[in-house]
Amino acid sequence: MNSLAATAIICAVRPHGEHGVIARAMTAEAGLLAGYVQGGRSTRMRPVLMAGNVVTARFRARTPDQLASLSVELIESRGPLLAEPLPAAAVDWTCALTAAVLPEGHPYPAVYMSLSAVLDAVAAAPAARGWAVALVRYELLLLAELGFGLDLERCAVTGALDDLAYVSPRSGRAVSQAGAGSYAERLLPLPAFLVEGGEADWPQIFAGLDLTEHFLDRMLLGDRRTDILAARGRLVERLKRAVA
C-alpha cells in the first residue's frame, strides 16, 4: 500500500514523538492499518482521533514496509458516547479488541461491517440489552475470521442437532444435554440465542460473554491478555451494575 483513501473506524491511538500519534484504523478495503498522524496530540486533533470515530483516512507511504503517514477528516463522532460510563466501556473494549487481534493489512470486510453495526447499536440503543447481544456475536465473528470459530451446529458426542446446551472449553464444539452426562460441570454453558437466534435475557448474555472471553483469552490474546482484558472487565462490571 503506497496510498489509500478510505472510510475508517479509529480503533487505537498511542503517542509517538513529541506531538504525533500512531493511529490504527479499520477499513473495509484493507482491514486494519496503522499510520502516523503529525500533530495528532493537538487540541484540534484529539477529538477526531477517538476510538469509535468514523473518519476519512488517507494513508501515504513511500514503500510497503514504511509506516504510513495518515491524515484524517471526521465523518461521525462517537464522542457523546464517552460521556456515559457503560457505552464508553463498550466502545473502548470493542475497538481495543479489534486493534489487538487483527493482523494489519488484511481485508476483513465482514469484521468491518460488524464492528460498524455494533458501534451504531451502542449509539442508538436506549438500553444495553439492545447492543450486548451484538457484541457477543461480534466476538464470535472475530474468532471465526481468524480461524478459531466455534462449532455450534451439532453435538460433538452424539451428533444431535438439538438440545445443545454446552461447549467444550478445549475443542470449542457444542455438546447436548444428553452428550454431556456427568461431565456437564466441566463444560461452558451455551446460551440459546447463539443457537436459535433472536433476543436474549441477561443471564444468557452473561453466559455468552463468559463463553467468548474463554476462547478470546485462549486463542487470540496470548501475552496481551492482562492489558486487553482489563477493558473487558470494566465493561462486564458496568453491565452487571446496570442490571442489578
Q: What is the pTM of this model?
A: 0.94
- d(C-alpha 34, C-alpha 50), whole Å: 14
pLDDT of residue 234: 92
Where b means 16+ CB within 10 Å and e means fewer, 141-153 reads bbbebbebebeee
| 170 close to 153: Cβ distance less than 8 angstroms | no
pLDDT of residue 202: 96
73 C-beta neighbours (distance < 10 Å), count: 9
- Coil, helix or strand at residue 32: strand
Give residue 235's identity as a one-letter amino acid code. Answer: L
pLDDT of residue 64: 77
pLDDT of residue 24: 98
pLDDT of residue 230: 87
Q: What is the DSSP letter of 190?
A: -
pLDDT along the chain (244 residues), means of 10: 90 93 97 97 96 97 89 96 92 96 96 98 87 96 98 96 96 97 96 93 97 94 78 93 87
137 C-beta neighbours (distance < 10 Å), count: 18
Domains of the chain in start order, with CATH, are 1-77 (2.40.50.140), 81-152+190-244 (1.20.1440)
pLDDT of residue 1: 58
pLDDT of residue 65: 80
